[in-house]
Structure 1
Amino acid sequence: MRIDPYSLELFISVVEEGSIARAASRNHIAPSALSRRIADLESAIGAALLIRSPSGVQLTEAGQHAYSSARSIHGQLERMAREVRSMSGQIAGVVRLHANASAIVGFLPERLRSFNARYPLVDIALTEQISDEVIRACLDDRADVGISASTKTPAGLESWHFANDPLMVVLPPDHELASAAALSFAEAIRFPLVALQAGGSLDQTLKEHAEAARAALNVTVTVNSFDAQCRMVEAGLGIGIVPTSAASAFAGSRNFARVPLRETWGSGRCLRVHAPRKSSRLKAVQALIDTLTGSEGKR
């Protein structure tokens, strides 16, 4: 029985995309060629892995087991390739970076551009996650580097400062608080609120401080992205409490007023870089950490 790694990679793509056509586009291969690869894989294994239909594909019971094993094998092969490249003296390979939304919209693009210019042989596999999931991915060794707004560093991780990202209140320009120099949390939550991403670090922070103040949050709508949040504010559905990075990226038009949140927990908010604690790291991983934390010239 011969099963080649490329066929496993294509099989994983088909499952993740839910469609042979979309997986083919993702991997720059003809759908007919990809379909033949999957058929050959099923023949080598001796079992049907997919249920095909006009609307897409589903895993058979055998396919579910094969998918789990394929992901594990693919991950092992990727790690092997990265380690061999690192030992060759080249700074090359793939670094798995998980980051929260405010890091991605506010600070990460420029730093990754700088990193790419310096290390063109390193590919960054970037995944957006809420802060708690970033931490969990680092602890589970599913991420080599993470960026989150978490204030705690669990055992097993190292952590460094990445960027200051204080909270701001975004409001329609005709709102009665729009001309304020700064706003307290109590002043802001007297008004309807457009909330972000239930379960995220910002959502948890606002709920914790509202509970401590024995105040209720009047949430009109909850959305999953900063641009959607700012769009709802623009439409007059409420005000938003967002990081400065998001306020700058999505609330820069004349349809918004941006007012600092006058709370130590808001003004002191920052993002941090995390990585699994190890005696030594792959050169590409260390190079990314150094770039993100501004430590390139200190080693």
Structure 2
Amino acid sequence: MRIDPYSLELFISVVREGSIARAASRNHIAPSALSRRIADLESAVGLPLLIRSHGGVELTEAGRQAYARATALHDQLQSFAREVQSVSGQIAGIVRLYANASAIVGFLPERLKAFQADYPLVQIELTEQISDEVVRACMEDRADVGVSACGKTPAGLESWHFADDPLMVVLPPDHELVSMAAPTFHDVLRFPLVALQAGGSLDQVVKERADAMRVPLKLAVTVNSFDAQCRMVEAGLGIGIVPASAASAFAGSSGFVRKPLDEAWAMSRSLHVHALRKSSRLRAVQALIDALTRTQA
């Protein structure tokens, strides 16, 4: 029985994506070739690992065991490669970076480009997740570095300031609130909202603040990305609360008006870099932390 690491990596990707087609797209491989790899893996272990349907895939009982072992083996191989590379005299290897959407949209592209120029032998594996999952991945050592909007640092993690990213209100040009220099949250709650993905840090903050004021939210629609949120606002379905980074990236056209949200908790919102507290770190990981936390000119 011969099982190669690449097939295990593809199997893990299929499970996480819930679809062979999506996993194939993420890994830049033809779906038929990926499906063949999974079939070969099932043949090697002598058991079916996936239940396939038009809606996607799910794990068999044997598949659950295989996924757990494959994930552990993949992590061990990644650690093996990174540790060998770290003692080669050069800063090289793979760094697992998890970040929330506003960090990816507003700040990371330029900073990662500068980092790549300084450390061309370091490969960044970037994964987008909501802030709570970013912190969880760091705690479980699935991520070497994380960037999130979580304000509290759990025991066992180190955190550093990354960027200020206050909240803004995105409005259609003809909206009633356009005449105000800086609407308050109470002003905003009078109108239907285009909300962002349930469970994210922004979604939690908005719901907690509305509950504290005992004012019900009027949700027009909920979407899963900042660009979709801004498009819904542009179409007139409601107004949105977004980080300044997203407002700059997606609401820069004449179809939007951006206003500061006049609340202390909104203006003080910031992003932080996280890493598991360790006595020492791989040189590539420390280099990325230093690059992300360096004061920007």
TM-score normalized with structure 1 length: 0.90
State the secondary structure of the residue aligned to 2:151. Answer: coil
* 1:102 partnered with 2:102: yes
Contact 2:168–2:247 under 8 Å retained in 1: yes
* 1:49 partnered with 2:39: no
Superposed CA deviations along residues 102-131 of structure 1, whole A, max 9, x for unmatched, are: 111101100010011111111111111111
Give the corresponding residue for 2:245.
245
Give the corresponding residue for 1:279.
279
* 1:268 partnered with 2:268: yes
State the secondary structure of the residue aligned to 2:216. Answer: coil
Note the residue ranges of structure 2 that are not aligned, 5 or more in a row. Answer: none
Count of residue correspondences: 295
Superposed CA deviations along residues 191-245 of structure 1, whole A, max 9, x for unmatched, are: 1111111121111111121122222221111111111111111111111111100
Contact 1:20–1:34 under 8 Å retained in 2: no
Give the corresponding residue for 1:71.
71
Over 3 Å counting, the alpha-carbon distance change for 1:52 and 1:172 in structure 2 is closer
State the secondary structure of the residue aligned to 2:170. Answer: strand
State the secondary structure of the residue aligned to 2:255. Answer: coil
Separation in 1 of the partners of 2:250 and 2:44? 51
TM-score normalized with structure 2 length: 0.90
Over 3 Å counting, the alpha-carbon distance change for 1:293 and 1:43 in structure 2 is same
Over 3 Å counting, the alpha-carbon distance change for 1:111 and 1:237 in structure 2 is same
Give the corresponding residue for 1:23.
24
Give the corresponding residue for 2:166.
166
Give the corresponding residue for 2:214.
214
Note the residue ranges of structure 1 that are not aligned, 5 or more in a row. Answer: none
* 1:223 partnered with 2:223: yes
Separation in 1 of the partners of 2:6 and 2:80? 15
CA RMSD in angstroms comes to 2.5
Superposed CA deviations along residues 40-92 of structure 1, whole A, max 9, x for unmatched, are: 54444333434567887654432332222112111111111101110222211
Contact 1:247–1:258 under 8 Å retained in 2: yes
Separation in 1 of the partners of 2:270 and 2:201? 12
Over 3 Å counting, the alpha-carbon distance change for 1:207 and 1:6 in structure 2 is closer
Moved more, 49-58 or 245-254: 49-58
Contact 2:20–2:35 under 8 Å retained in 1: no
Give the corresponding residue for 1:84.
84
Offset at 1:258? 0.6
Work out the percentage of aligned pairs sharing the same amino acid. 70
Moved more, 47-56 or 262-271: 47-56
